[in-house]
Each structure stands twice: as C-alpha cells, then as structure tokens.
C-alpha cells in the first residue's frame, strides 16, 4: 500500500513490533507517530502468529535477540504458512554472517541497534514500496467502482474520488467480501491499532462519509448488530 497522508492526519500504516524491551517499544511507538504510523507490540510468538493471521499489518519489526523463542524461530514460523508481510529485523549484531542468515530465512531487511528513527521510517517506506511493486494486488471492481490497492486509487464511473486512508481500507475490505457481511470487529481491526481510543460511533462516521463520497446511501447496507455488506440494489 502506498505511503499516504491525508489532511486529517490519520494514521497511514499499521506496524507490528515484536520486541521485549519496553523502553525501546515506547521510543519506537512515540517516534513513529509523527510519520503517521500506528505501532502495536507483542512479545510471545504464539500471540504474534495469531494476530498476524487475523489482523492486517503493513510491516513487521522483529527483534532478533528475543530470549524465548529467538527471533529467528519466530521468523521461520511467520514465513512457514506463507505470510508475506514485509519483515524488518532489528538486531544488535554486527555480524555479516548473521545478517545473511536472516535474509536467507525470509527477512526483507535488517537494522542494527541503536538506530535513528528517521532511518527506521525510511526503511519502512522502502519495504512498502518494494512490497507494492512485487505484490500481485488485483484491481477490485464492483458495480461502477474500481479500487486499485497497489496504486491507492479509487474511481467511480471512471472518475477518481478522494478517500482518506481509513475510508480506503474500509472500502477495500468490503469489496474483498462483496455480497457478504463483514463484522464490525473485523472492520475496526483493519482501521485502528490496539492502543487507539475509539469512540463507539467512529466506524459509523467512516461508513457515512464513504456512502456520501460514493453518492449512494444504500450501497453499504447496515446489518444491525453485526456489521456491513455491499449490495447491488437499494434496500
């Protein structure tokens, strides 16, 4: 997904940080906030795999020097089921042999501690550009709407429409499940990090804005108490 900053300063990218050092976690989370990144943190490999399989992350920052299990073991477990989310290894090692090992085992890059937050942000952007170029993201079409995940573009009847990052993610998830109900919980997970404070009506506000921009209040149907789904005919 392309790096994007909207006028409302909404977070543009969701990062998963697998790190045991609480102080470093706070520094990274606070330091990346101005760049528009939401950073969520886990330490256990089972929890890591569970979240990666059920939630959407743009980049994973993985500390190689975890105590139990080692970061290399977690790297293997992430890549084994075919998860392709870009992974940037964080390590204190200066060994070229170790860096080669993590790259050969599925990492997309590495950064030696201590690191500069500007450089970390640049590495994340580079991984995102590479992922967008290499990923076969099909263009999603439904009725008169066409959404291109790689180019971060949406057209309605051939004309470009401007969406915020969260509106884009919301529409993409609904298009990927066209005709089926998408739960409120899943949509909220796609739009926000775990630590974000979310008002009870926040999702409704995004849906309302999306309906308005699409010019059809009936296009996104509310399934009361469950979630939302796209419909072809007004209800």
pLDDT digits (tens, 9 = 90+) for 6-25: 334 344 578 999 988 878 88
Please give the pLDDT value at position 132: 63
What is the tens place of the pLDDT at every residue in 98-126?
888 888 889 999 898 888 898 999 899 88
Please give the pLDDT value at position 234: 44
Mean pLDDT value of segment 187-196: 67
Q: The sheet that has 145-148: what strands, in order across it? A: 140-142, 145-148, 153-156, 159-160
As a whole number of angstroms, the distance between CA 61 and CA 119 comes to: 13
Least confident of 182-186, 209-213, 221-225: 182-186
- Show the 3-state SS of 74-131: HHHHHHCCCCCCCEEEEECCCCHHHHHHHHHCCCCEEEECCCCHHHHHHHHHHHHHHH
Indicate if the pLDDT at residue 191 is higher than 60: yes
Six token digits for residue 98: 């170790």
What is the tens place of the pLDDT at every residue in 59-92?
999 998 888 778 888 898 888 888 888 999 998 8
Reduce the DSSP state of residue 169 to 3 states and report it: helix
Indicate if the pLDDT at residue 194 is higher than 60: no
């Amino acid at each position: 997904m392309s790096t994007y900053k909207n006028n409302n300063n909404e977070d543009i990218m969701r990062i998963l940080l697998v790190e045991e050092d609480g102080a470093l976690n706070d520094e990274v989370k606070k330091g990346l906030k101005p760049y528009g990144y939401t950073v969520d943190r886990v330490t256990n490999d089972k929890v890591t795999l569970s979240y990666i399989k059920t939630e959407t992350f743009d980049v994973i920052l993985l500390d190689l020097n975890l105590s139990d299990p080692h970061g290399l073991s977690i790297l293997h477990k992430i890549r084994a089921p075919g998860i392709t989310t870009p992974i940037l290894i964080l390590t204190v090692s200066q060994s070229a042999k170790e860096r080669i090992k993590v790259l050969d085992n599925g990492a997309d890059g590495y950064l030696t501690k201590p690191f500069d937050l500007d450089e970390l942000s640049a590495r994340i952007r580079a991984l995102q550009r590479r992922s967008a170029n290499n990923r076969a993201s099909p263009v999603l079409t439904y009725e008169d709407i066409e959404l291109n995940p790689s180019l971060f573009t949406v057209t309605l009847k051939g004309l470009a429409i401007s969406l915020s990052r969260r509106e884009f993610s919301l529409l993409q998830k609904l298009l990927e499940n066209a005709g089926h109900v998408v739960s409120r919980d899943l949509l909220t997970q796609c739009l926000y990090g775990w630590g974000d404070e979310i008002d009870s009506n926040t999702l409704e506000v995004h849906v309302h804005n999306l309906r308005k921009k699409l010019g059809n209040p009936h296009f996104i149907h509310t399934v009361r108490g469950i979630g939302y789904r796209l419909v072809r005919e007004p209800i």
